[in-house]
Amino acid sequence: MNRILALSAALGVAVGVPASAVGHGSHGSHKAKVRWATLKPVRADVADYTAMRGRAQMTANGRNAKVSLHLKGMVAHATYPWAVVQGTDATTVCADGTKVAGFKYRKLKAGRKGNANSKAWTKKGAFTFDRTATYAVVVYQAGTTDEVLLCGVFKGKPKKSHKHSKHSAPKRPHAHA
């Protein structure tokens, strides 16, 4: 059996297997970029007197994107407008960011316990991910689209330090009694 496999492998090399069949190569431009955001109240009075908070995840490649949004502590049964915004600076993108074109948004309505979930997506070719831009998700006050209630800036996963791995704990000296 091993001889047959070795013979067929040698024959494939001799005949000339196309390069595309051997490996996929580098797909760096097609690889999806995943970003996460933690949403917090923008105004101090909202932060002091409510438990409004949330998380969002954006998955984007060169052509399209999708965003999922999960909120807690919202007013029960209220509907909130929301958007993905783009800017140049992480400190001002929540207030001055421009709405990213091409997204279709599902309604963001809180349930009876104050939890709200929604999604947004783009069709192929309607979105181009810009590595130099800063993206954020903004939730507006119910009934308005100009008063920001919650905001979170999308960030990539921090690079892991390979100083100490999970399985190799630092060695401790033995105590002799």
As a whole-number percent, the residues of the chain with pLDDT over 90 amount to: 49
pLDDT at 21: 46
pLDDT at 156: 84
pLDDT at 170: 60
Q: Which domains does the chain have, with CATH numbers?
A: 35-153 (2.60.40.200)
Rounded average pLDDT over 55-65: 89
pLDDT at 128: 85
pLDDT at 19: 46
What DSSP letter does each residue of 129-141 carry, written as one string?
--TTSEEEEEEEP
Rounded average pLDDT over 50-70: 91
State the pLDDT confidence band at 4, using cuts at 50, 70 and 90.
low
pLDDT at 3: 56
Backbone angles phi, psi at 46, to 5 degrees: -70, -40
Using DSSP's 3-state secondary structure scheme, residue 79 falls into strand
Rounded average pLDDT over 89-103: 91
Query: What pTM does this model have?
Result: 0.71
pLDDT at 117: 97
Closest CA to 156 of 129, 117, 119: 129
